[in-house]
Protein backbone atom coordinates (compact mmCIF):
# COMPACT_ATOMS: atom_id res chain seq x y z
CA UNK A 1 0.00 0.00 0.00
CA UNK A 2 1.28 3.44 -0.95
CA UNK A 3 1.78 6.14 1.64
CA UNK A 4 1.34 9.71 0.43
CA UNK A 5 4.51 11.73 0.85
CA UNK A 6 4.00 15.05 2.59
CA UNK A 7 7.13 16.62 1.06
CA UNK A 8 5.48 16.43 -2.36
CA UNK A 9 2.05 17.52 -1.20
CA UNK A 10 0.43 14.27 -2.29
CA UNK A 11 -3.32 13.81 -1.88
CA UNK A 12 -4.51 10.99 -4.12
CA UNK A 13 -7.95 11.31 -5.72
CA UNK A 14 -9.85 8.16 -4.74
CA UNK A 15 -13.59 8.83 -5.15
CA UNK A 16 -14.77 6.88 -8.20
CA UNK A 17 -17.81 9.07 -8.86
CA UNK A 18 -15.63 12.18 -8.94
CA UNK A 19 -13.07 10.47 -11.18
CA UNK A 20 -15.78 9.49 -13.67
CA UNK A 21 -17.29 13.00 -13.64
CA UNK A 22 -13.86 14.49 -14.34
CA UNK A 23 -13.10 11.98 -17.11
CA UNK A 24 -16.44 12.72 -18.80
CA UNK A 25 -15.72 16.45 -18.60
CA UNK A 26 -12.30 15.94 -20.19
CA UNK A 27 -13.99 13.86 -22.92
CA UNK A 28 -10.85 12.17 -24.30
CA UNK A 29 -10.84 11.42 -28.04
CA UNK A 30 -8.87 8.86 -30.04
CA UNK A 31 -6.74 11.55 -31.67
CA UNK A 32 -5.80 13.31 -28.41
CA UNK A 33 -2.27 13.59 -27.06
CA UNK A 34 -2.28 14.12 -23.29
CA UNK A 35 0.27 15.46 -20.86
CA UNK A 36 -0.66 14.27 -17.38
CA UNK A 37 0.99 16.14 -14.51
CA UNK A 38 1.23 14.38 -11.17
CA UNK A 39 -0.64 11.17 -12.09
CA UNK A 40 0.19 9.66 -8.71
CA UNK A 41 -1.34 6.17 -8.54
CA UNK A 42 -3.05 6.55 -11.92
CA UNK A 43 -6.62 7.35 -10.85
CA UNK A 44 -7.21 9.44 -13.98
CA UNK A 45 -4.65 7.63 -16.14
CA UNK A 46 -6.75 4.46 -15.89
CA UNK A 47 -9.73 6.19 -17.50
CA UNK A 48 -7.73 8.00 -20.20
CA UNK A 49 -5.21 5.45 -21.42
CA UNK A 50 -7.50 3.45 -23.73
CA UNK A 51 -9.40 6.47 -25.01
CA UNK A 52 -6.50 8.68 -26.17
CA UNK A 53 -3.81 8.41 -28.82
CA UNK A 54 -0.98 8.98 -26.35
CA UNK A 55 -0.26 9.97 -22.76
CA UNK A 56 2.98 11.47 -21.51
CA UNK A 57 3.14 11.66 -17.72
CA UNK A 58 5.39 13.73 -15.46
CA UNK A 59 5.65 12.35 -11.93
CA UNK A 60 8.13 13.40 -9.24
CA UNK A 61 7.69 10.35 -6.96
CA UNK A 62 9.88 7.42 -8.11
CA UNK A 63 7.61 4.91 -6.36
CA UNK A 64 4.60 6.16 -8.31
CA UNK A 65 6.69 6.14 -11.49
CA UNK A 66 7.50 2.45 -11.03
CA UNK A 67 3.84 1.61 -10.45
CA UNK A 68 2.66 3.62 -13.46
CA UNK A 69 5.23 2.07 -15.81
CA UNK A 70 4.28 -1.42 -14.67
CA UNK A 71 0.51 -0.85 -14.78
CA UNK A 72 0.28 1.32 -17.91
CA UNK A 73 3.08 0.31 -20.34
CA UNK A 74 1.54 2.44 -23.12
CA UNK A 75 2.09 5.60 -21.06
CA UNK A 76 5.46 7.37 -21.35
CA UNK A 77 6.37 8.30 -17.78
CA UNK A 78 9.13 10.74 -16.83
CA UNK A 79 10.42 10.90 -13.26
CA UNK A 80 10.77 14.69 -13.14
CA UNK A 81 9.62 17.88 -11.48
CA UNK A 82 7.24 19.58 -13.92
CA UNK A 83 8.59 23.00 -12.95
CA UNK A 84 12.08 22.10 -14.20
CA UNK A 85 11.01 20.08 -17.24
CA UNK A 86 12.07 21.26 -20.70
CA UNK A 87 8.67 21.71 -22.31
CA UNK A 88 10.06 22.04 -25.83
CA UNK A 89 11.20 18.40 -25.64
CA UNK A 90 7.73 17.21 -24.61
CA UNK A 91 5.71 18.69 -27.43
CA UNK A 92 6.02 17.23 -30.89
CA UNK A 93 2.24 17.59 -31.05
CA UNK A 94 -0.07 20.02 -29.28
CA UNK A 95 -1.27 18.43 -26.09
CA UNK A 96 -4.19 18.44 -23.73
CA UNK A 97 -3.04 18.80 -20.13
CA UNK A 98 -4.57 16.96 -17.17
CA UNK A 99 -3.36 17.34 -13.61
CA UNK A 100 -4.08 16.72 -9.95
CA UNK A 101 -1.18 18.79 -8.72
CA UNK A 102 0.39 19.65 -5.37
CA UNK A 103 -1.33 22.89 -4.44
CA UNK A 104 1.87 24.60 -3.33
CA UNK A 105 3.04 24.81 -6.97
CA UNK A 106 -0.30 26.03 -8.39
CA UNK A 107 0.69 29.63 -9.14
CA UNK A 108 4.04 28.65 -10.66
CA UNK A 109 2.40 25.99 -12.80
CA UNK A 110 -0.33 28.32 -14.03
CA UNK A 111 2.36 30.80 -15.04
CA UNK A 112 4.14 27.96 -16.85
CA UNK A 113 0.94 27.17 -18.75
CA UNK A 114 0.63 30.81 -19.78
CA UNK A 115 4.24 31.01 -20.96
CA UNK A 116 3.80 27.79 -22.96
CA UNK A 117 0.23 28.30 -24.14
CA UNK A 118 1.21 27.74 -27.78
CA UNK A 119 1.83 24.06 -26.97
CA UNK A 120 -1.56 23.52 -25.37
CA UNK A 121 -5.05 22.70 -26.65
CA UNK A 122 -6.60 22.91 -23.19
CA UNK A 123 -5.87 22.28 -19.52
CA UNK A 124 -7.98 20.34 -17.01
CA UNK A 125 -6.56 20.82 -13.56
CA UNK A 126 -7.32 20.35 -9.87
CA UNK A 127 -6.73 23.44 -7.75
CA UNK A 128 -7.34 24.56 -4.22
CA UNK A 129 -10.78 26.20 -4.29
CA UNK A 130 -9.35 29.55 -3.24
CA UNK A 131 -6.92 29.57 -6.18
CA UNK A 132 -9.57 28.36 -8.63
CA UNK A 133 -11.88 31.17 -7.51
CA UNK A 134 -9.14 33.68 -8.33
CA UNK A 135 -8.53 32.17 -11.76
CA UNK A 136 -12.25 32.30 -12.58
CA UNK A 137 -12.97 35.78 -11.17
CA UNK A 138 -14.00 38.77 -13.27
CA UNK A 139 -13.29 42.49 -12.69
CA UNK A 140 -15.32 43.68 -9.72
CA UNK A 141 -15.27 40.30 -7.96
CA UNK A 142 -13.56 40.30 -4.57
CA UNK A 143 -11.23 37.49 -5.72
CA UNK A 144 -10.12 39.23 -8.93
CA UNK A 145 -6.33 39.37 -8.90
CA UNK A 146 -3.12 39.52 -10.89
CA UNK A 147 -3.48 35.77 -11.40
CA UNK A 148 -6.97 36.27 -12.88
CA UNK A 149 -5.65 38.81 -15.37
CA UNK A 150 -2.62 36.76 -16.33
CA UNK A 151 -4.40 33.44 -16.87
CA UNK A 152 -7.37 35.01 -18.68
CA UNK A 153 -5.01 36.70 -21.13
CA UNK A 154 -4.21 33.27 -22.56
CA UNK A 155 -7.14 31.03 -21.62
CA UNK A 156 -10.91 30.96 -21.30
CA UNK A 157 -11.52 29.56 -17.81
CA UNK A 158 -14.45 27.41 -16.74
CA UNK A 159 -15.44 25.69 -13.48
CA UNK A 160 -16.26 21.98 -13.82
CA UNK A 161 -16.80 20.52 -10.35
CA UNK A 162 -16.29 21.34 -6.67
CA UNK A 163 -14.65 18.50 -4.76
CA UNK A 164 -14.87 17.76 -1.05
CA UNK A 165 -11.74 16.87 0.96
CA UNK A 166 -13.13 13.37 1.63
CA UNK A 167 -12.63 12.49 -2.05
CA UNK A 168 -8.86 12.37 -1.44
CA UNK A 169 -6.48 10.21 0.53
CA UNK A 170 -5.09 11.49 2.78
CA UNK A 171 -7.90 13.99 3.40
CA UNK A 172 -6.60 17.56 2.80
CA UNK A 173 -7.56 20.52 4.97
CA UNK A 174 -8.92 22.54 2.03
CA UNK A 175 -11.68 22.22 -0.56
CA UNK A 176 -10.81 21.71 -4.21
CA UNK A 177 -12.13 22.69 -7.62
CA UNK A 178 -11.53 21.08 -10.99
CA UNK A 179 -11.41 23.65 -13.79
CA UNK A 180 -10.95 23.82 -17.54
CA UNK A 181 -8.67 26.28 -19.35
CA UNK A 182 -9.15 26.51 -23.12
CA UNK A 183 -6.31 28.17 -25.01
CA UNK A 184 -7.51 31.32 -26.76
CA UNK A 185 -7.18 31.48 -30.54
CA UNK A 186 -5.80 35.00 -30.12
CA UNK A 187 -4.07 35.33 -26.72
CA UNK A 188 -3.33 38.85 -25.50
CA UNK A 189 0.00 38.78 -23.66
CA UNK A 190 0.62 41.37 -20.97
CA UNK A 191 3.56 43.63 -21.85
CA UNK A 192 6.13 44.61 -19.23
CA UNK A 193 4.77 48.12 -18.66
CA UNK A 194 1.23 46.81 -18.19
CA UNK A 195 2.53 44.11 -15.85
CA UNK A 196 4.28 46.69 -13.65
CA UNK A 197 1.10 48.80 -13.47
CA UNK A 198 -0.99 45.74 -12.56
CA UNK A 199 1.60 44.73 -9.97
CA UNK A 200 1.57 48.22 -8.48
CA UNK A 201 -2.21 48.34 -8.28
CA UNK A 202 -2.60 44.91 -6.67
CA UNK A 203 0.24 45.44 -4.21
CA UNK A 204 -2.15 47.88 -2.49
CA UNK A 205 -5.45 46.39 -3.60
CA UNK A 206 -7.49 48.03 -0.82
CA UNK A 207 -6.42 51.50 -1.89
CA UNK A 208 -7.94 53.54 -4.72
CA UNK A 209 -5.73 53.58 -7.79
CA UNK A 210 -5.15 57.34 -7.40
CA UNK A 211 -3.05 56.24 -4.39
CA UNK A 212 -1.74 52.82 -5.38
CA UNK A 213 -0.62 54.10 -8.80
CA UNK A 214 0.48 57.59 -7.75
CA UNK A 215 4.04 56.79 -8.85
CA UNK A 216 2.70 56.23 -12.38
CA UNK A 217 -0.12 58.75 -12.82
CA UNK A 218 -1.47 62.06 -11.55
CA UNK A 219 -5.17 62.78 -11.02
CA UNK A 220 -5.13 64.72 -14.30
CA UNK A 221 -3.71 61.66 -16.07
CA UNK A 222 -6.66 59.54 -14.93
CA UNK A 223 -9.07 62.21 -16.21
CA UNK A 224 -7.33 62.24 -19.60
CA UNK A 225 -7.53 58.44 -19.79
CA UNK A 226 -11.21 58.43 -18.80
CA UNK A 227 -10.55 56.07 -15.90
CA UNK A 228 -12.17 56.52 -12.50
CA UNK A 229 -9.30 57.06 -10.05
CA UNK A 230 -11.54 56.06 -7.15
CA UNK A 231 -11.61 52.45 -8.34
CA UNK A 232 -9.50 49.75 -6.73
CA UNK A 233 -7.25 47.24 -8.51
CA UNK A 234 -9.84 44.45 -8.61
CA UNK A 235 -12.40 46.77 -10.23
CA UNK A 236 -10.22 47.57 -13.24
CA UNK A 237 -10.71 45.63 -16.48
CA UNK A 238 -7.90 44.29 -18.65
CA UNK A 239 -8.75 46.90 -21.27
CA UNK A 240 -8.40 49.71 -18.71
CA UNK A 241 -5.00 48.39 -17.66
CA UNK A 242 -4.00 48.39 -21.34
CA UNK A 243 -5.17 52.01 -21.66
CA UNK A 244 -3.02 52.94 -18.66
CA UNK A 245 -0.05 51.08 -20.13
CA UNK A 246 -0.31 52.85 -23.51
CA UNK A 247 -0.79 56.23 -21.84
CA UNK A 248 2.21 55.69 -19.57
CA UNK A 249 4.41 54.78 -22.54
CA UNK A 250 3.35 58.03 -24.24
CA UNK A 251 3.86 60.32 -21.28
CA UNK A 252 7.09 58.56 -20.38
CA UNK A 253 8.58 59.72 -23.66
CA UNK A 254 7.44 63.30 -23.05
CA UNK A 255 8.51 63.62 -19.40
Detail the residues annotated as belonging to a binding site: 11, 13, 38, 59, 100
| Cβ(103)–Cβ(131) below 8 Å | yes
| Length in residues, the chain | 255
Question: Residue 6 gets which letter from DSSP?
Answer: G
Instruction: Specify burial of residue 106 (Cβ count, 10 A radius: 0-12, 13-18, 19+).
Output: buried
* Residue ranges at the known binding site for S-adenosyl-L-methionine: 11, 13, 38, 59, 100
Q: Are 28 and 51 in contact (CB under 8 A)?
A: yes
Q: Which residues contact 220 (CB under 8 A, 6 or more apart)?
A: none
What is the C-alpha separation between 103 and 107, in angstroms, rounded? 8
Amino acid sequence: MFRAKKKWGQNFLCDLGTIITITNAICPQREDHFLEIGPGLGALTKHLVDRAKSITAIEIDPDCVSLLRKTYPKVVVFNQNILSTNWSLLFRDKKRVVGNIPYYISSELLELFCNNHHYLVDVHIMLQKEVADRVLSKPGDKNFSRLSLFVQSYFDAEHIISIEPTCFSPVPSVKSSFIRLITKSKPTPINQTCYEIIKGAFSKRRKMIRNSLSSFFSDDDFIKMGINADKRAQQISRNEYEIMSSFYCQIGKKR
